[in-house]
Amino acid sequence: MKSDRIFGGIWLLVAIAMGVLASKFVAPFAYEPIGPSRYPILLAVLNALCGLWMILRPGPEPEWPGIALWRKIFVMFATLLTYALLFQDLGFMLATALLTVALGLLYGGTPKKCIIGGALMGPGLYVFFDKLLDVALPVGSIWAWG
């Protein structure tokens, strides 16, 4: 119940922000009766109505994960983000090997298995995609100095 209300409130704010932004869309040459701003404003109004509805008539409270699970989710998020940010620098091979170890551990693999998995998966997927299927993947800018 509370979650729906909070979401409804956020959604209402988003809708208002959308409406304000959209009302400033002006076409340099207006040749059609409906310009670029009317449709987004229509969506904003509908969004606002839905937001209000969720505040006034919230549904049952969803089952949120416990703290332990939230921690896992955060670790997963941080791991993926680190992977994404280091993807071009470390290169696909190393980054993916590290990702495999990290996620493997998170999803219940034993350290030994995960390290073996990472050592195989990084180079394996690199050869498969880059060499075999011709999908260009980053080699990694840190290797360029050596």
Q: Which residues bind another protein (CB under 8 A)?
A: 3-4, 7, 11, 18, 21-22, 25-30, 32-37, 39-40, 43, 46-47, 50, 53-54, 57, 59, 62-65, 69, 72-73, 76-77, 80-81, 83-85, 87-88, 92, 96, 99-100, 103-109, 113-114, 117-118, 121, 125, 129, 133-138
To another protein, the closest distance from the beta carbon of 132 in angstroms equals: 10
- The answer to whether the beta carbons of residues 122 and 91 sit under 8 Å apart is no
To another protein, the closest distance from the beta carbon of 46 in angstroms equals: 6
Q: Which of 42/143 has CB closer to another protein?
A: 42
To another protein, the closest distance from the beta carbon of 115 in angstroms equals: 11
Looking at beta carbons, which pairs linking 59-68 to residues 24 or more positions away fall under 8 Å? 59/1, 59/4, 60/1, 61/1, 61/2, 61/3, 61/4, 62/3, 64/3
- The answer to whether the beta carbons of residues 59 and 81 sit under 8 Å apart is no
Alpha-carbon distance of 86 to 82, in angstroms, equals: 6
